Amino acid sequence: MENQNVYEKPVTLKNILKFAVPTIAMTVFMSFYTMVDGLFVSNLIGTDALSAINLTAPVIQLVTAISTMLATGGSAVIMKKMGEHKTDEAKEDFTFLILVNVVVGVIMCLVGYLAMDSIFAGMNLSADVEGYCVEYLSRYLVFTVPILLMNNFTLYMIASEKATLSLICSVTGGVLNMVLDYLFIAVFAMGISGAAVATGIGYSVTAVVGLFVFSRKKSLLHFKKPVFRFRVLANAATNGCSEMATALVTGIITMMFNWTMLHYVGEDGVAAVTIIMYVLMFASSLYTGYSYGVAPMLSFYYGEQNHEKLKKLVAVSLKVIAFISVITVAASCLLTRPLVSVFVRPDNPVHELAVTGNRICTAALCFIGFNIFASGMFTALSNGIVSAVLAFSRSFVFMLITMIVLPLLLGVNGIWLATPAAELMALALSAFVFMKYRKRYGY
């Protein structure tokens, strides 16, 4: 029984968590050291620099969107082929998709540098904040290719039953990022550029380890002479388009939050939004980590047409998501002031804005997990269109509606309410789609 791989073992909570917990820990830790970036920047440089990190987020989300699309969509395609016992073909496709990531990364880096000067010109920012934005982004773009590889290798390590190694890479990269944050900002006085370089180096750890791991033929997935199959790239893009849409519209919605806050409150409002996004991101990483962790299992059982295991996996997953939701809501309510105080002093006007905003936004944590899992599940089942509809509706359509309507009615509190309202609308759509396709997939 011990020689069985995880896909052959019975679907129990214990076996699922053995597969998913390292992934959850990894995503939580990655979000944690993103928060640490903000902590160092806000405390050692100032809230203007913290605002700048948020203002560059839409551009960074574009980088994340492409790599997420290729990683999640590619993983679903490849693990489905593994379930169909087309192992050689799966390895050829894996190598091909990694090469695509490298090419895309180089192109995005060049385009980013060419467009950088005009990106922030129309935002009517103060000279200090605009300077921080350009400085941070120019350093971050240097690491575009390693960041794309990191996002891909993270998921492929999980699919290759190396989730623990993926966790070790994330922890190592995170610790390195934190240490370098302090050294570059506090000791070497590199300012906000030091934060960007520290983040890039931290992300590069998984990219370097992944190149080594997947060069070894002992790995379940490993590099093999690639074969260009346009259909594979198209399928990966289609399956992963929901995750790409989520990342892209997250950037767009971030811009909307920033513009609305600049209109109602000013740059202090942007800093408050940044703090709340860190808190929501940290909580959401639990759901994202779980969804990433079980996605290869969903894809494998679907390829194998093992409806009994698929049904049990989905049922257990919904219970796990519900449990996490209760914990995150309670923790966010109890720890609002301590969390905000880590980033900004109580005498700073940003503090009260962030405290109020976090208390209202906490309601979204009741719904986010189910929406993330539903979208991820359909990606794993190779139904990228349904997944994209769920992700796009949740992240853009519903957010656009609530971001336009609620601030007009309720002012600043309407901005904070936009996220919980949008997630509730998305939950209704997720439940409808979940029931509609239940018989088709046998879950």
Q: Among the residues of 229-266, which ranges form H helices?
A: 230-264
Task: Identify which has the larger pLDDT, 160 or 244.
Answer: 160
Give the span between the Cα atoms of 210 and 190, in whole angstroms: 30
- Listed in sequence order, the residues at least 6 apart from 321 whose beta carbon sits closer than 8 Å to its beta carbon are 287, 290, 369, 370, 373
Query: What's the confidence (pLDDT) of residue 246?
Result: 65
Q: What is the mean pLDDT of residues 6-25?
A: 82
Residue 396: name the closest of 259, 251, 283, 282 by CA.
251
Query: What's the confidence (pLDDT) of residue 53?
Result: 85
Residue corresponding to tokens 């091909």: 96
Which whole-number Å values give the CA distances from 314 to 107, 246, 290, 434, in the listed order?
Answer: 39, 22, 12, 11
Phi and psi torsions of 222, nearest 5°:
-155, 165
Torsion of CA 70, 397, 258, 287, to 10 degrees: -50
Q: What secondary structure letter does DSSP report for 185?
A: I
Cβ-contact 283, 336 below 8 angstroms: no
Q: What is the mean pLDDT of residues 185-204?
A: 92
Q: Which of 206-220, 229-243, 361-375, 406-420 has the lowest mean pLDDT?
A: 229-243
Q: Among the residues of 265-367, which ranges form H helices?
A: 267-304, 307-334, 336-343, 349-361
Q: Which two tokens stand for residue 101?
A: 């990531």
Give the span between the Cα atoms of 22 and 36, in whole angstroms: 21
Task: Identify which has the larger pLDDT, 357 or 425.
Answer: 425
Whether residue 69 has pLDDT greater than 90: no
Residue 414: name the closest of 405, 423, 401 by CA.
405
What is the pLDDT confidence band of residue 1, given thresholds at 50, 70 and 90?
very low
Give the span between the Cα atoms of 206 and 154, in whole angstroms: 7
Query: What's the confidence (pLDDT) of residue 402?
Result: 93
Give the span between the Cα atoms of 293 and 154, in whole angstroms: 10
Q: What secondary structure letter does DSSP report for 442?
A: T
CA 427 to chain centre: 19
Q: Which two tokens stand for residue 10?
A: 């019975």
Share of the chain above pLDDT 90, in %: 33
Q: Which two tokens stand for residue 42?
A: 């806000």
What is the pLDDT confidence band of residue 4, given thresholds at 50, 70 and 90?
low
Q: Which two tokens stand for residue 40?
A: 């160092």
Whether residue 3 has pLDDT greater than 60: no
For all residues of the chain together, what is the average pLDDT? Answer: 86
Sign of CA dihedral 258, 199, 108, 394: negative
Angle of CA points 425, 320, 373, to nearest 5°: 40
Give the span between the Cα atoms of 59 and 74, in whole angstroms: 23
Q: What is the mean pLDDT of residues 38-47?
A: 84
Give the span between the Cα atoms of 436 and 423, in whole angstroms: 20
Cβ-contact 222, 211 below 8 angstroms: no
Residue 241: name the closest of 437, 375, 89, 103 by CA.
375
What is the pLDDT confidence band of residue 2, given thresholds at 50, 70 and 90?
very low
Share of the chain above pLDDT 70, in %: 96
Query: pLDDT of 102-111, one tens digit each?
Result: 999 999 999 9
Query: What's the confidence (pLDDT) of residue 6?
Result: 66
Give the span between the Cα atoms of 261 and 41, in whole angstroms: 20
Query: pLDDT of 400-420, one tens digit each?
Result: 899 889 989 988 889 899 999
Q: Which two tokens stand for residue 342?
A: 């880590």
Query: pLDDT of 251-298, one tens digit each?
Result: 777 777 777 887 787 777 777 887 888 878 888 888 988 988 888 889
Whether residue 142 has pLDDT greater than 90: yes
What is the pLDDT confidence band of residue 316, given thresholds at 50, 70 and 90?
very high
Residue 314: name the closest of 298, 303, 292 by CA.
298
- Largest Cα separation within the chain, whole Å, is 64
Query: pLDDT of 319-355, one tens digit each?
Result: 999 999 999 999 988 988 988 888 888 888 888 888 9
